[in-house]
Amino acid sequence: MTASTPQQRKKILVVSAHPEPRSLNASLTAFAVEHLRTAGHEVRVSDLYAMKWKATADADDFPDDVVDGRLEVMAASERATLAGRLSPDVAAEQEKVRWSDAVILQFPMWWFSAPAILKGWIDRVFTCGFGYGPAVPPPYGQGPLAGRRALLSVTVGARETSFSDRGVHGRLADVLHPVQHGLFWFTGMAPLEPFAVYGSNAVPVERFEAARREYARRLDGLFTDEPVPFRSLTGGDYDHDMRLLPGVEAPGTSGPDLHLLPRG
């Protein structure tokens, strides 16, 4: 069976956030698109800088929906979502996410998180009524975007040791936890372990080729690798106040690791 049989032909959205078309990030986006298409998949790209994506959520997003002259972002975003009155740029991105079987976010890590333009894609696209809220299924595992895979592909200026288990910058998984757990898993998407290229300010050819080989392996596993084993909110591990029940974790576990199922 090849990847182009109907069962394995998948739809993938790549969201890319770098201002320079000849950057490492742009190269990795182009590589992913070609690799996935060669494998028989459908790919769409949101190149946020090329699109001049509006980063800032503001009253202009809800021109018909300011109550008594006052903007309540969450309520306004839910009304606009449920009534089909979102701004066209946001509606178009929601359509791409709904269309997809997997979402890849490609970005340079700036100040230990996504560049503002990508944060603004998250802020504006994942509206109340689309990514969360009372009108959609509950978060963490069963959310409205369940059934999709999600992969972060990041470039990092620092060296890998500084993001290792004892590295001063923190473990990469912890630094990216707000997106992995707080965006992907919250909305129902199943995140894979992030893919990272370290020392990204100067990548010699041989290291770039090694990175592409590794990225190819990760892209090949997009629908078959095991996702990060986050706990489901409704799986019996949390109480009604959304706190992990006493004793369900392995002894000595703390912090973000509490929310992982024990491995093995």
* Cβ contacts of 238 within 8 Å, gap of 6 or more: 231, 244, 245
Return the SS3 of 85.
Answer: coil
Kindly state whether residue 157 participates in binding a copy of itself, applying the rule CB under 8 A. yes
Output the CA torsion sign for 207, 192, 164, 30. positive
Kindly state whether residue 130 participates in binding a copy of itself, applying the rule CB under 8 A. no
Choice between 36 and 90, CB closer to a copy of itself:
90
Amino acid making up residue 75: A
Choice between 4 and 56, CB closer to a copy of itself:
56
Rounded Cα–Cα distance for residues 165 and 174 (Å)? 10
Kindly state whether residue 86 participates in binding a copy of itself, applying the rule CB under 8 A. no
Choice between 64 and 111, CB closer to a copy of itself:
111
Terminal CA-CA length for the chain: 30
Q: Which of 3, 51, 91, 116 forms a contact with a copy of itself (CB under 8 A)?
A: 116
Segment contacting a copy of itself by CB under 8 A, of 31-39, 95-103, 160-168, 219-227: 160-168
Q: Which of 90, 105, 114, 219 forms a contact with a copy of itself (CB under 8 A)?
A: 114
Q: Which of 6, 111, 206, 264 forms a contact with a copy of itself (CB under 8 A)?
A: 111
Kindly state whether residue 183 participates in binding a copy of itself, applying the rule CB under 8 A. yes
Structure tokens given for 131? 């990514």
Choice between 39 and 104, CB closer to a copy of itself:
104
Q: Tally Cβ neighbours within 10 Å of residue 48.
A: 23
Question: Rule CB under 8 A: which of 31-50 touch a copy of itself?
Answer: 49
Kindly state whether residue 117 participates in binding a copy of itself, applying the rule CB under 8 A. yes
Choice between 8 and 113, CB closer to a copy of itself:
113
Kindly state whether residue 198 participates in binding a copy of itself, applying the rule CB under 8 A. no
Amino acid making up residue 93: E
Rounded Cα–Cα distance for residues 219 and 212 (Å)? 10
Structure tokens given for 251? 């002894």
Q: Is 108 left (phi over 0), alpha (psi -120 to 50) or beta?
A: beta
Return the SS3 of 112.
Answer: coil
Q: Tally Cβ neighbours within 10 Å of residue 250.
A: 12
Q: Which of 40, 137, 167, 199 forms a contact with a copy of itself (CB under 8 A)?
A: 167
The residues that touch a copy of itself, with contacts defined as CB under 8 A, are 19-20, 22-23, 49, 53, 55-59, 70-74, 108, 110-117, 119-120, 122-124, 126, 140, 157-159, 161-162, 164-171, 174-175, 177-179, 181-183, 201, 233, 238, 241-244, 252-259
